[in-house]
Each structure stands twice: as structure tokens, then as C-alpha cells.
Amino acid sequence: MGYVAVKGGQKAILASSELTGYYRLRHAPGSLDVGMLPSQMRFLVDRVMSEAGFYAPKHAALALKQAQGDVYEAAFLLRAYRSTVPRNHVSLPLDTQGMRLIRRISSAFRDIPGGQILGPTFDYAHRLLQFDLLDEPPEAIAQVLKRVEDRYSAEEDQEPALFPRVSDFLREEGLMAPPHPGAGEEEPFDITRFKLPFPAPRSARLQTMARGETGAMVALAYSSLRGYGAVHPTIGELRVGYCALILPYPLENGESVYAGELLITEVEAINGFAGTEPGEPVQLVLGYGVSFGQNEVKSIAMSVLDRALDVVSGTEPVHDEEYVLSHIDSIESAGFISHLKLPHYVTFQSELDRLRTVRQTPDTGSREGIR
Amino acid sequence: MNRRQRTRILVEDEGDLLISLCHYVENKVPVRIHRQSSNGCVMAKALDAVQRVPFFLGEILISECTVAIDNVLGFGAVLGDDTEKAYRLAVVDAAWNKGTLPTEYWVTRLKEAEAELVRRHREEFAAVSQTRVRFETGSEYDKPR
């Protein structure tokens, strides 16, 4: 059986494209202002950037407008755009410990140096629709901003502190293994340039999950929490904040330049304890999650999966590195599912032919070959 | 004032400091475009906080430009799509490398802008700090065991 190229449908495709635009605007009171999305739809923009693996808030907002809110399509558009711009630099390692925090919590320890800062979150919000948002006049917006800004002066002049990581305390107490000697010197694997190998280097695993699809990762992590896996962690620390993007200065070795700051979410999840070598004390083991923007559920899910992939004795899918890493990329998964919409006339006709043949054969007891 | 500190001030300044600096340089010396200001991306390297393994977090859109003043090069880069700002940063960098810029006046302006940036960050952090949790625990919890 071979493939047969078919032609036709160009006019229909063009008309369909125009109709898609028509449906975007048919009942719209005006064109959506892309500039409003990075702030007023910030979680959505963050999600698209994270799943595209490309930090560009304005472009993510445009992709969402063009895709009419379809997150899969928007992430695809953004990743496609990314492939058109040259990559001339690799940044210096982001200093997540020195990030300018807007949120930091721990569900493992009540008292962490620097304290727990709720920051912007829906965690404690009532899930009731706020109908006043339907009509939000400028005075109402001004009032919302003023309420918070008025507190600026009320607060004592306070230097933003450097918040040490919870994992650092655990290491200091000897409750957690130190990093492998020489771990920081490895050159990271780059999944955007090379095919993902299995078993995957840790750097490839983290890169794959950092741009994984939120729903897929949450579903897999959830399966572990529900018992289809061995990992059910406690959040040692979840932090959200701005990290400086520092580039090596291309005109002089050893120099660097600041290019801006980006919002990221980072999670350390504590997963019980495990022995290392016989005779050595048992220690806590942590899972790590991180993503562009404020993407908390995804980052937590990543920290669960990170640990789950280290549980070699697990038999459930969540412990299978190839299973997890091969099924969490939104462009690949949505693309493959979407291809089912495309013509399969020849393959399906072939199946029908086989079915008819089998039914015409006197002995139809065997179903071999029928899917 | 080192390059990283200077570029941080210029990138984050919300006033007209970068534009003023660029105009000052352009009025004083001829600037030649070495590499047109354009969009590019940076692969962000990060360190896994748990095992300290370096990995690539993802790519970031930037605008970058290289200019020359009397064959002395200057480079500018800024996060996002802002080719005009990347050009201005490159002009200031070239002028700094050439020795045209680090005058007392401009260093003072930069330090003022840095103070303003620190003030802005403090204000935001003060607002964020309002959400710091003040735990209260019952006496049972605090009983010595």
C-alpha cells in the first residue's frame, strides 16, 4: 500500500481561512488590544511562553489573539516564530536564588528565613464570579491600583532581601546529599538541536519538562499522587520572581551585559527519604521544577515527575522516562492528534477492502488483521 | 561603574536617560552601524537548584545591535522586541569603550537613575511584603516536648 497525493480544495482552504477571521470578529465590539494581554491574561501568556519554550510576552499575546485563544495553536505559532530568529547567545546561568521575589511559600516548614510571602495568588480566593469586572471603568482600575500602592509608603524602607533556598538548610543539616562533585561543569544537552536520547541526561530531562504541556504534566503527576506512582511530595519551597538575564559580552572575554529580567517559577519538592550507599545515613530526596512565567501547577507537576523518573523500581507509566518525556510536548502531541483530521482516504479504504474480503470469506471466525 | 551595572540601569530606566545619552553621543561623534539592530534569541542557561546540574530552560527573545565609533565597537542587547533601544544601548556602549562618555555629568545621571530603580524595586517589594504571613500558633503547639 502506498500514499496517493490528492489535489483540490485550495479555494475551500482559502475561504476557510477567511471564515476563521470572520468568526474572530463577527460579534466583537472591537479588535482585542494585544498590549493588554501580558498583564490582564498573564497566566495564559505565561503558559503559552512556557509551552513554546520561548520567552516573548508580546509575541505570545499576539499568538493568542491570532489563535483566538487556542493554547495549542498559540504555542505552535510561537515556537514556529522562534525558529525564524537566530540564536547568537547562551546566557550566563540564571541566578534564581537572587531573583526579585514576588511570591515564596513552603508547605514543609512554617518558619523559613525571610518568611512566607503569599504574593499574587488565587490560592485563598473565593471561587465566585466577580460580575463587577464586566464593566470596569477607569475609576475602578485606579482604585485597585491605589489600594496597593498606598501601602508602599506605609511599609518601612525595606531592602529586598536575598532569600536562601530551603534545600540549602537541609544540606547544611546533612539531611540532603550534596550535589555530585563536578555536576555544575557538565555542558547541558540541547533538545532544540539534537534528538532526545534515552536514557536522557538530566539536563535534557529538565529542558523537556520545562517546555512540557501543562495538562499532560499535571495529569501524569496527579496519577502518581493518586497511587499510580510512588511519589507524593511536600513542597519544600515554591518561589516566583524576576531573574536577571545576563549575556556574555561578545566584544570582550569575561565581561557581561544585562538585557532585562524575566519572570520564572521554581519549585523544590521533598520526597521522603532514601538511602544512598549501605552504611550511609538516609537522606531526603528532592524533585525540581521550573518554568517561564508564573506557572505554579506545572512547576509542581514537573518537580513530582522529576523525582518519579528517578524511582527506578516503579512500574507505573509515571516512572518510565521514555513514556513521560515523549508525551508531554504540546506541539508534538497536539500535532499528532490533529493529523487525524487530515485525509486518510487511502488507508481507510484499504481497511474497508480488507473488512469486505473477510466478510465474504466463508470462515469469518478469525479476526486476525482487523484492528 | 562596570558594564553590567551600567547596562542594568539603562535597560531598566523608565525615564529618558538612554535617549539623552544616545543623542549626546550622536551629536558629538559619527556612529556607524556595524550590525543592524534586529531580533534574535538567547538560550537561557539555568542551574537545577537540587542537583546543581546546568540545563537549558528555554529561549528568550531579544533585540541586539552592534555599532562602531571610529572603529571602536559597542554592543547593545535588550529583552523583547525593541530594536531602537538595542541600537541606543550599542551607541552608549561604543562611546563608553571609546572614552567619550564616562564624564562626571553622565555618571551622576546614571547613579541617580540607579537610585530611582532601587526605589521602584523597594516599593514593589514593600507591596509584596504586605502578603507576608504572620503565623500564630496555639499554646499546645509551642509546648516543650
Instruction: Render pLDDT for A207-251 as a digit per residue (tens, 0 to 9).
Output: 999 999 999 999 999 999 999 999 999 999 999 999 999 999 999
Per-window interface: B 118-137 vs A, CB < 8 A: 121-133, 135, 137
Predicted pLDDT at B145:
45
Say how many Å lie between the first and final Cα of chain A, rounded.
Answer: 17
Please tell me whether residues A236 and A320 are part of one structural domain.
Answer: yes
Please tell me whether residues A171 and A69 are part of one structural domain.
Answer: no
Is A146 at the interface with chain B, CB within 8 A? no
Please tell me whether residues A60 and A110 are part of one structural domain.
Answer: no
Predicted pLDDT at B81:
97
Of the candidates A56, A179, A259, the beta carbon closest to that of B77 is on A259
Of the candidates A155, A184, A286, the beta carbon closest to that of B126 is on A155
Please tell me whether residues A175 and A251 are part of one structural domain.
Answer: yes
Q: How many angstroms away from the CA of B105 is the closest CA of chain A?
A: 22
Please tell me whether residues A291 and A172 are part of one structural domain.
Answer: yes
Count of Cβ atoms closer than 10 Å to residue B56 Cβ: 24
Count the residues in chain B: 145
Report chain B (145 residues): mean pLDDT per 10 consecutive residues: 95 96 94 97 94 95 97 97 98 94 86 95 89 73 48
For residue A90, give the chain B residue with the closest CA: B43
Q: Please indicate whether, in this complex, the C-beta atoms of A260 and B11 are within 8 angstroms of each other.
A: yes
The whole-angstrom separation of Cα A241 and Cα A212 is 20
- A94 to chain B: which residues are within 8 Å by CB? 44-47, 57
Which residue ranges make up each domain of chain B? 3-128
Count of Cβ atoms closer than 10 Å to residue B92 Cβ: 26
Q: Please indicate whether, in this complex, the C-beta atoms of A115 and B133 are within 8 angstroms of each other.
A: yes
Q: What's the number of domains chain A is made of?
A: 2
Please tell me whether residues A69 and A112 are part of one structural domain.
Answer: no
Q: How many angstroms away from the CA of B65 is the closest CA of chain A?
A: 11
Q: Cell 535617549, residue?
A: B19
Q: Please indicate whether, in this complex, the C-beta atoms of A257 and B4 are within 8 angstroms of each other.
A: yes
Predicted pLDDT at A277:
64
Report chain A (371 residues): mean pLDDT per 10 consecutive residues: 70 95 94 96 98 98 98 98 97 93 92 90 95 94 89 61 80 80 82 96 97 98 95 94 97 96 96 69 90 98 96 89 97 95 89 91 60 52
Q: How many angstroms away from the CA of A323 is the closest CA of chain B?
A: 21
A194: in domain = yes
The set of residues, in sequence order, having a beta carbon less than 8 Å from that of A104 and lying 6+ positions away, is A114, A116, A117, A119, A163, A237, A238, A239, A240, A241
Domain boundary among A56, A82, A108: A82
The whole-angstrom separation of Cα A21 and Cα A68 is 9
Please tell me whether residues A223 and A277 are part of one structural domain.
Answer: yes
Please tell me whether residues A50 and A111 are part of one structural domain.
Answer: no
Please tell me whether residues A76 and A47 are part of one structural domain.
Answer: yes
Q: At what angle do helices B104-129 and B17-28 cross, to 10 degrees?
A: 160
Q: Please indicate whether, in this complex, the C-beta atoms of A260 and B78 are within 8 angstroms of each other.
A: yes
Please tell me whether residues A200 and A283 are part of one structural domain.
Answer: yes
Predicted pLDDT at B79:
98
Per-window interface: B 13-52 vs A, CB < 8 A: 39-52
For residue A54, give the chain B residue with the closest CA: B59
For residue A149, give the chain B residue with the closest CA: B127
Domain residues for A20? 10-82
Q: Please indicate whether, in this complex, the C-beta atoms of B77 and A93 are within 8 angstroms of each other.
A: no
The whole-angstrom separation of Cα A241 and Cα A267 is 12
Q: How many angstroms away from the CA of B108 is the closest CA of chain A?
A: 20
- A264 to chain B: which residues are within 8 Å by CB? 57
- B57 to chain A: which residues are within 8 Å by CB? 94, 207, 210, 264, 290, 292
The set of residues, in sequence order, having a beta carbon less than 8 Å from that of B38 and lying 6+ positions away, is B63, B64, B65, B83
Please tell me whether residues A118 and A65 are part of one structural domain.
Answer: no
Predicted pLDDT at A275:
60
For every residue of B64-107, DSSP letters joined together read EEEEEETTEEEEEEEESS-HHHHHHHHHHHHHHHHTSS--HHHH
Please tell me whether residues A112 and A191 are part of one structural domain.
Answer: yes
